[in-house]
Amino acid sequence: MIMYLEDYKRWLEADLEDSALTEELRSINGNDEEIKDRFAVALKFGTAGLRGVLGAGSNRMNIYVVRQATQGLANWVKTQGGKQLVAISYDSRINSDVFAKTAACVLAANGIQVRIYDALMPVPALSFATRFYGANAGIMVTASHNPAKYNGYKAYGPDGCQMTDEAADIVYAEIQKTDILTGAKMMGFEEGMKAGLIAYVGDDCKEALYDAIKARSVRPGICKTAGLKLVYSPLNGSGLVPVMRILKDIGITDITIVPEQQYPDGNFPTCPYPNPEIFEALRLGLELAEKSGADLMLATDPDADRVGIAMKCPDGSYELVSGNEVGVLLLDYICAGRKETGTMPDRAVAVKSIVSTPLADAVAAHYGVELRSVLTGFKWIGDQIARLEAAGEVDRFIFGFEESYGYLAGPYVRDKDAIIGSMLICEMAAYYRSIGSSLKQRMEEIYDQYGRYLNKVDSFEFPGLSGMDKMAGIMEGLRKDPPKEIGGCPVVKVTDFKKPEETGLPAANVLIYKLEGGAEVIVRPSGTEPKIKTYFTTLGKDLAEAQAQKDKLAEGLKPIFS
């Protein structure tokens, strides 16, 4: 019998604790495609942990996959010495709380101590708790901004950063040695609590996080008097409690929460794709902002590590602001504010990903700040903070960002943080309001000063089991036969990040094309979804010219991805 059919039969005949999984398995009996999709491969554990569609089988997110992954993690933790402790948090997704408690039970059964949040809390809270308790590892149950049918499991190292490649490889090897249905040790949650192995994260840890965030304020007190009017949406995720707490603490009281998106709901009924990068997720918030005349609308994604905004324009309309633009606005605000208040450290360092806008380089240079570019993935920004910390210079770090709406201003966590992002965006908006300006006006001033940069991202999807092979083939083709021109614009330099000797960075599946005239195109397969992303940077005398150039380049790339 074919292996995946054997696995299906074994699951079908097992006495599964989750009856919904058994029902699902019965419903696909005889359907080879559906069985193959669930059992032909297993979800692969990597530096971003696991992510997949909820359901039955080794290629789905369920309690058995979580148990197997956690047993693999436990085996690794037991070799690490230290406190033998793991921190756990979870967001609002379907079964996030179940998976978090399941992980706690496996760890406890292995004699490993657990500190788990007593209610959903976001990624930055997990990163903070991992560091606060001196844990060996952290687990965040989330699928970030994926559609509602997904869930996932992010694994963190003792530094509060997403797990390194080396550690993830060891954990994955241990997972593969663990039988998915019977191989994980288990202990009841209450039993684990009684034994003192499982405990809830304490108020001391929660308050220390809020204190650390507020300590990074650039102009403390500005929000108390500026009269900022805000609309906020947690997109039915984990941001509601921490974001509202921090905004109220800094003095913002005029906050309207989008009622349909206020409370945790893993079905995300009003935004099938709960991603603050896309208009549909922010539509209800924008409608509310227009009705109320708010200065600013902001939304955090389900695990509250990313934040998107819409700013009010002088004519009363609202404009969505890209992650690159918010990153540049924050970098400019932090640099100018710290210089003005005398809190800028000597030899200040900011960090961005290689796919984020070169406009940030120009802004950093203007303020005399060193800007480091790193591979995509916030763990590489965390790695730069760790290097500064190891040299006793962690205070030099002032800001890090990715174009995908992730921001961090301080070394207290090692992942992107929508709580501090929300605080600083609101503080920045309040400051500009207090001097008779606005976010929109400041953005235009930045463009006037440095040039009209345009940064856009296009994605090409490759679904199904053959999708990854097709993506690999495209990337191989681009390396074997590099394009001489894109959209009629000559390529003057190609940088292949699979060659660390050329880039000075770890190897990565990224290609950067510098074009005649200064434009740039980056091609990168997504690390978490079956898609290839293309990043465009164009520079024009105005937006129309920059957009026309981008359109021409995008048209030139289409045949490669068809």
Enumerate the active-site residues: 144
- Provide the token pair at 128: 């903070």
The length of the chain in residues reads 562
- DSSP class of residue 499 equals -
Close Cβ partners of 558 (under 8 Å, ≥ 6 residues apart): none
Contact status, residue 305 vs residue 373, Cβ threshold 8 Å: no
321 φ, ψ (degrees, to nearest 5): -110, 130
Residue pointed to by tokens 């345009």: 454
Number of neighbours of residue 119 by Cβ within 10 angstroms = 12
In which element (H, E) is residue 113 found? strand 113-116
Residue pointed to by tokens 């208009």: 279
Radius of gyration of the chain (CA): 24
**DSSP one-letter string for 293-343:** T-SEEEEE-TTSSBEEEEEE-TTS-EEEE-HHHHHHHHHHHHHHHHHHHT-
- What is each CA distance from 456 to 373, 443, 533, in whole angstroms? 18, 17, 10
Contact status, residue 110 vs residue 185, Cβ threshold 8 Å: yes
- What is each CA distance from 154 to 63, 254, 410, in whole angstroms? 15, 35, 22
- Provide the token pair at 200: 């809830």
Question: Which residues, in sequence order, are bridge partners of residue 520?
Answer: 514, 537
- With b for 16 or more beta-carbon neighbours within 10 A and e for fewer, the 141-162 pattern comes to bbbbbbebbbbbbbbbbbbbbb
319 φ, ψ (degrees, to nearest 5): -125, 125
Report d(CA 70, CA 153) in Å as an integer: 10
Report d(CA 44, CA 302) in Å as an integer: 23
- Provide the token pair at 414: 């090692």
Could you give the 3-state DSSP secondary structure of residue 458?
Answer: strand
Contact status, residue 442 vs residue 434, Cβ threshold 8 Å: no
Question: Which residues, in sequence order, are bridge partners of residue 453?
Answer: 539
User: Shortest CA distance to 90 belongs to which of 247, 266, 245?
Assistant: 266
For 517: left if phi > 0, alpha if psi spans -120 to 50, otherwise beta; the answer is left
Contact status, residue 357 vs residue 324, Cβ threshold 8 Å: yes
Report d(CA 200, CA 116) in Å as an integer: 5
Contact status, residue 422 vs residue 511, Cβ threshold 8 Å: no
- Provide the token pair at 412: 């207290």
